[in-house]
Structure formats: structure tokens, C-alpha cells
């Protein structure tokens, strides 16, 4: 059972429930205008997503400070209804219930990832692992963390870390972003060249399947 977005485990039913039935009625409710704190349930569905970043974004986006949350999809099969954002409101957002070539990643989508803890929308990173990839928040691409070890200690104002996973403390001052033009800030960056080779941009025309693909992409035998 979910109450105000938090899972609650019920050990036993404290009320008669529904007579002549073999189940307990579970209610998924949030503290909205219809779901007040003193109300157990009402005869409709709370089809909204009330986590804070998304709620704050939609209030600002629609200019309505009293919105309770993001309306969820009311149509479609079980894997679509109530598990995507309402397409009537958000059209070609990435997480609406149908796909199209013009899908966009908006602040709403970024707030979703921020709320759920799946991925921060900030581009900065502290990974010293050339084989670890992640989707970029600023482009339709994937890439690696551009954190490198320099041959000299970086100037104090460019030393951004007190510690880095897997790096001895006395070596941390040597680590920074690979591009001095961004003041040695490490961020998730794509792999791209001007020459006609594959890149990590998802819509790049050179990114076709071929043997010897080396940009972190692997295919099963026979593909």
C-alpha cells in the first residue's frame, strides 16, 4: 500500500472490509484536494505522480501553483495506463505512452530521473573508468566520464575533489577534466570525430552495425 508516496505494510485488517469477499481492498492515495488527511478513500482514482521535483516543474510550467502533481496516462494497455505521463498534456515527451521520431527530453523528464534517483541531470562526474558509459543529459548520445590524470598537480582552484573512488588521496590533486577550456571540470562526454567513423551519438548516420565496433557497443553472434 502507498500512502503519500511511501510504502506501508499492513499486517492485518483492522476493519470488516468488504463482506463475503476473500481479499482486502488496498487504496493508493495522496494528500490532494480529494485525498485529505482524514479521508481513507473515495470512489475514483488518484492518477497523479506527486514527487516533488515533478510537481514543482508542472506547477511552474502550467502556471498553476495548486497542481497536485503530474497527471498519468488514462488510456492504453496495462503497461501504458498509469505508468506514463498523460499524452494529452505532454505530447512528444520522452516518457509519454507512445513513441515518435521527435521525442524530446524536457525538464519534466530530467526531474523524473532526479526524483527516482536513477540518474542525476547534472553532467558532472567523478568516475575513473573508461569502460563505464552513461546517457548524456544534454545530447542524444552516450559517453564516458572525462576525468583524467594529469602529469602535474592541478592549480588549487581547479582541484574539485577531496576524494575520488579508487584513487589514493595523495594523487587526487592530479585528477581533473581532460579539457582545460572548461577549467578542468570533468563531465560525461561523447566520443565524436569529424572523420567518417562511428560516434556515440545515437542519431549519427555512421553508427551502423559492423564487425569491429569499438565504441562500447557489442552485438550477439550472427547480428
Binding-site positions for Zn(2+): 84
Distance CA 222, CA 88 (A): 42
Distance CA 127, CA 55 (A): 31
Q: Which residues are annotated as a binding site?
A: 84
Helices (H), 34-191: 52-62, 87-90, 107-116
Q: Are 154 and 183 in contact (CB under 8 A)?
A: no
CA neighbours within 13 Å on the CB side: how many for 112? 16
Distances (CA, A) of 40 to 8, 14, 28, 66, 121: 14, 13, 10, 22, 36
Amino acid at each position: 500500500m502507498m500512502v503519500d508516496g511511501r510504502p506501508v505494510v499492513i499486517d492485518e485488517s483492522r476493519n470488516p472490509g468488504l463482506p463475503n469477499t476473500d481479499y482486502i481492498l488496498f487504496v493508493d492515495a495522496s494528500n490532494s484536494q480529494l485525498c485529505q488527511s482524514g479521508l481513507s478513500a473515495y470512489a475514483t482514482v488518484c492518477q497523479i505522480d506527486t514527487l516533488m521535483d515533478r510537481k514543482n516543474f508542472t506547477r511552474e510550467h502550467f502556471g498553476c501553483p495548486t497542481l497536485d502533481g503530474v497527471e498519468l496516462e488514462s488510456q492504453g494497455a496495462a503497461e501504458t495506463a498509469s505508468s506514463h505521463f498523460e499524452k494529452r498534456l505532454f505530447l512528444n515527451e520522452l516518457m509519454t505512452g507512445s513513441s515518435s521520431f521527435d521525442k524530446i527530453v524536457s525538464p519534466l523528464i530530467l526531474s523524473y530521473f532526479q526524483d527516482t534517483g536513477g540518474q542525476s541531470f547534472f553532467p558532472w562526474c567523478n568516475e575513473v573508468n573508461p569502460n563505464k558509459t552513461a546517457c548524456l543529459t544534454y545530447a542524444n548520445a552516450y559517453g564516458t566520464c572525462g576525468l583524467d590524470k594529469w602529469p602535474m598537480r592541478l592549480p588549487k582552484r581547479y582541484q574539485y575533489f577531496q576524494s575520488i573512488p579508487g584513487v589514493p588521496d595523495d594523487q587526487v590533486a592530479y585528477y581533473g577534466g581532460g579539457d582545460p577550456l572548461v577549467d578542468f571540470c570533468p563531465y560525461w562526454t561523447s566520443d565524436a570525430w569529424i572523420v567518417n567513423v562511428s560516434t556515440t551519438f545515437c542519431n549519427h548516420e555512421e553508427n551502423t552495425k559492423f564487425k569491429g565496433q569499438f565504441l562500447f557497443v557489442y552485438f550477439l553472434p550472427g547480428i
